[in-house]
Amino acid sequence: MFPSYLQAPNSNEIGTFLALDFGGSNARAAVVELKGDGTFMELHRVSRPLSDPITGRELRAPSVNAEELFDFLAEIIQKVLDHSPLSPIISSSIPFPLGFTFSFPYHQRRIGEGLLLNWNKEIKTAGVVGKDVGELLCAALARQGLGSVVRPTAIINDTVATFLTAAYQDSSVDIASIIGTGHNTCYLEPKAPGFDGSLIINTESGNFSAVPETLYDQRLDQQSDTPGEQLFEKKLSGKYLGELFRQIILDFSERGFLDFDFLRHWNQPYSISSKDLSLILTAEDNHSRHLFNIPRAELDIFRRVTLLLFKRSARLVAASLIGVILHQDPHLIKPHTVAIDGSLYEGMPGYAQELTAALSEGLASKSSLVTVKLSAGGSLTGAAIAAALEKLM
């Protein structure tokens, strides 16, 4: 439960800010203009994958060090500056404020700091754990010659970025969740101990652990880079659903329930992605059978297993959201709006409906008080709003 050092925005934050987003698959930077009245505009965006199949560069590997990773981020910021209409503004002597969305667990004693506690989502870059990512970014910006041009002022989690972007446009938002490669939720705490007034708290709920486990969950965890950590996330997020599916199908095969030649190719951990699962569900029978070389009867089994995994994922998320809502409002008397972003929620057919159904079941007659809405792509805008809020502190 990490304080974000930020309150909800009031929709009138104004100004032009640099924004950087580092989430695990891509790094992105942009110039964002906040216009007030809940409106904003992204002026220029540069996005780069952390893993480049053409050059073979893999920035998540343990052989890559912190300097290389943060130099890569500074280069992206440089690219944004090269192509943005900011040049006249940044030639002034005041460094340009940058908001940084960093989607990993970190400890923070002030808004501009972020001491990485541990990597997750299978990232292994060396030399970052235990370091302040704000300082690493400042040092990389200095190496890039941008030390006096850009000043990272706010570091936020991606759930907080989603919260800020959604709440900037709709003041009823009081919870935000990511259901994508990873999973996590933040919420507005009305009275945070040690702070005046309300505060957004990053729960890092992906690391919740009090959840019943199957044999497959245990296997996945034991074979992962971080045994015993992120146990909640490992049961439900996009990074892990394909691997859980693979563990289940291999087990069926070992027990003699299924006998596929092609399973020989499935020995590689993480060789099935949640995108593959979505294809298994949605592709025309012939197409997906051809894709995975699956006989008809087995395709039905694959679909059932996939549906069960999605259903369990949505129900676990719903349970944790209900926990947060009842913490905020024990008798559930006020309306709440949950903003959600993430590839699983947005892209997986039927996922959003499963989540709504589970929330309705759990909240029963009070379910009409809770609204869930998609708030896609708020990482960069949220970082800009955080930089704007920091300026007002």
- Residues in contact with ligand GLC by CB under 6 A are 23, 103-105, 120, 157-159, 178, 182-184, 204, 206, 233
Q: Which residues pair with 382 in a beta bridge?
A: none
Give whichever of 237 and 278 is closer to ligand GLC, judged by the CB atom.
237
Q: What angle do CA 26, 117, 217 make, to 5 degrees?
A: 75
What's the gap between Cα 269 and its chain centre? Answer: 22
Residues 6+ apart with CB under 8 A from 47: 26, 27, 28
Measured from the CB of residue 353, what is the shortest distance to ligand GLC in angstroms?
Answer: 22
CB 149 within 8 A of CB 80: no
Measured from the CB of residue 147, what is the shortest distance to ligand GLC in angstroms?
Answer: 28
Give whichever of 158 and 221 is closer to ligand GLC, judged by the CB atom.
158
DSSP 8-class letter at 263: G
CB 125 within 8 A of CB 116: no
Give whichever of 183 and 246 is closer to ligand GLC, judged by the CB atom.
183
Give whichever of 216 and 232 is closer to ligand GLC, judged by the CB atom.
232
Q: How far apart are CA 239 and CA 120, in angstroms?
A: 10
Measured from the CB of residue 300, what is the shortest distance to ligand GLC in angstroms?
Answer: 32
Measured from the CB of residue 378, what is the shortest distance to ligand GLC in angstroms?
Answer: 12
Tally of CA atoms within 13 A in the half-sphere of 80 that contains its CB = 32
Give whichever of 77 and 116 is closer to ligand GLC, judged by the CB atom.
116
Beta strands in 67-225 (DSSP E): 96-102, 106-107, 115-116, 150-156, 173-179, 183-189, 199-202
Measured from the CB of residue 265, what is the shortest distance to ligand GLC in angstroms?
Answer: 29
Measured from the CB of residue 209, what is the shortest distance to ligand GLC in angstroms?
Answer: 13
Give whichever of 96 and 208 is closer to ligand GLC, judged by the CB atom.
208
The residue whose Cβ lies closest to ligand GLC is: 182
